């Protein structure tokens, strides 16, 4: 999975696998994997003027993350 850098407070990078619908977000406290994420959610995260806010409100609060490291 290709990770793309994010310029956001608390976030480092994000990657998405459209086939498995898995999103991986690397934060300053570790990497988390989220399942059953639509491509639109990933697109919005990457294009948001405030990726950190979008992540907290639309991903962290809506999906159950699994800590990878």
Q: What's the burial of 18, exposed, middle or buried (CB within 10 Å: 0-12/13-18/19+)?
A: exposed
pLDDT score of 55: 96
pLDDT of residue 7 exceeding 90: no
In the chain, how many domains are there? 1
> Which residues have C-beta within 8 Å of that of residue 66, sequence separation ≥ 6?
32, 33, 34, 35
- Determine the average pLDDT of the residues in 10-32: 96
Percent share of the chain, pLDDT over 90: 93
CA distances to 13, 28 from 16, rounded to whole Å, are 11, 18
Residue predicted with more confidence, 61 or 42: 42
Structure tokens at 60: 């962290």
Range of the domain at 32: 3-67
């Amino acid at each position: 999975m290709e990770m793309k850098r994010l310029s956001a407070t608390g976030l480092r990078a994000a990657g998405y696998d459209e086939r498995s619908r898995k999103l991986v977000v690397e934060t300053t406290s570790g990497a988390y994997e989220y399942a059953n994420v639509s491509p639109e959610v990933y697109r919005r995260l990457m294009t948001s003027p405030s990726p950190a806010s979008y992540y907290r409100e639309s991903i962290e609060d809506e999906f159950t993350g699994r800590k990878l490291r």
